[in-house]
Amino acid sequence: MYDRIRLLRGSVFAVSFVLAITATLGTGSPAFALSELKQIPGQVQEQPERDSAPTAQTPPPEEAEPGEGEQLQLPLPDPLIRRDAGEEAVTEPAEDKAVTEPEPPVEVLYDITKAPEPVQRMRELIVEAAASGDIERLRSLLGKGPTQTQVSIVEGTDDPVTTLKGLSGDPDGIEILAILLDVLATGFVKVDAGTPNETYVWPYFAEKSLDTLSPPEKVELLRIVTAGDFADMQEFGGYNFYRVGISPDGQWKFFVAGD
């Protein structure tokens, strides 16, 4: 009998305890997970006892001085040209940029007295002979043998006077004499100064770029050639009409047309 009563009381107590817990959860208090039920809200959690023996603190690592130890660095980019191990890198020399220097201006001379006296004398003799209208008067000035005046770009043994007549537009060589006078009436230049090939050359167009001619110089050139000839020369790249050359010692070296 008493056992039943105690059992009944125990059951009632258990039911009452469950109802009380349920009522508590229903009041809006936050629910706790099972892991959180280990600590009841409001209750101070006991801190675990630490070892009474003091723990030795590990000192912070000292920063390595430059050159000591390994340092974390970003990797350098790979070279554009990979070389095998053991091959020394050769520094390629910088390419030399060709610098085009402007050509020195050509000194054009009009005063014949600035040329040596033998040059002055030979020019005067040529002018006198050409102005006479008789091409035979050039023969004594053209020379013979090794000193014979070059009158054609093609080497030959023909008589120079005969060659000049053949280059003229008339059978008597009058046209070639007129061209000779016009050429010697222009300014002149000295080429290959200080060398065995030093020569005084008429007209100066033979040694000057046609692209640099001033308007007055173009007028002077068109007194010798036609406008069509001038256009052809510009396309060719230079003056290619007749020119005269006299050496410092007075030798008449050439009277030729062409390059």
Q: What is the pLDDT of residue 153?
A: 84
Contact 202, 213 (CB under 8 A): no
Answer yes or no: are the C-beta atoms of 205 and 225 closer than 8 Å.
Answer: no
What would the mean pLDDT of 88-100 be, rounded to a whole number? 51
Q: With 90 as the cut, is the pLDDT of residue 196 above it?
A: yes
Residue 203 belongs to a domain: yes
Question: pLDDT at residue 131 above 90?
Answer: yes
**Residue 121: inside a domain:** yes
Environment class of 215 (CB within 10 Å of its CB; exposed 0-12, middle 13-18, buried 19+): exposed
User: What tokens appear for 67 in the block?
Assistant: 């050159």
The answer to the question of residue 34 being in a domain is: no
147 within domain boundaries? yes
Mean pLDDT to the nearest integer, 176-191: 97
Element (H, E) at 179: helix 174-184
Number of domains in the chain: 1
**DSSP letters for 107-130:** --B--GGGS-HHHHHHHHHHHHHH
Q: Residue 18: pLDDT above 80?
A: no
Q: Where does residue 56 rank: exposed (0-12), middle (13-18), buried (19+ CB within 10 A)?
A: exposed
- Closest of 48, 30, 46, 29 to residue 38, by C-alpha: 46
The string of pLDDT tens digits covering residues 217-242 is 999 999 999 999 999 999 999 999 99
In angstroms, the CA 207 to CA 108 distance is 10
Phi–psi pair at 252, nearest 5 degrees: -80, 105
pLDDT band, very low/low/confident/very high, at 79 (cuts 50, 70, 90)? low
Instruction: Let me know if residue 8 belongs to a domain.
Output: no
Peptide bond preceding 118: is omega within 30 degrees of 0, i.e. cis?
Answer: no
Q: Is 197 inside any structural domain?
A: yes
| Amino acid identity at 232 | D
- Sign of the C-alpha dihedral, residues 33, 38, 42, 45? negative
Residue 53 lies in a domain: no
Q: What percent of the chain has pLDDT over 70?
A: 59
Domain of 158, in residue numbers:
112-256
Question: Does residue 191 lie within any of the structural domains?
Answer: yes
Mean pLDDT of all residues in 90-95: 52
* 171 phi-psi bin (left φ>0, alpha ψ -120 to 50, beta other): alpha
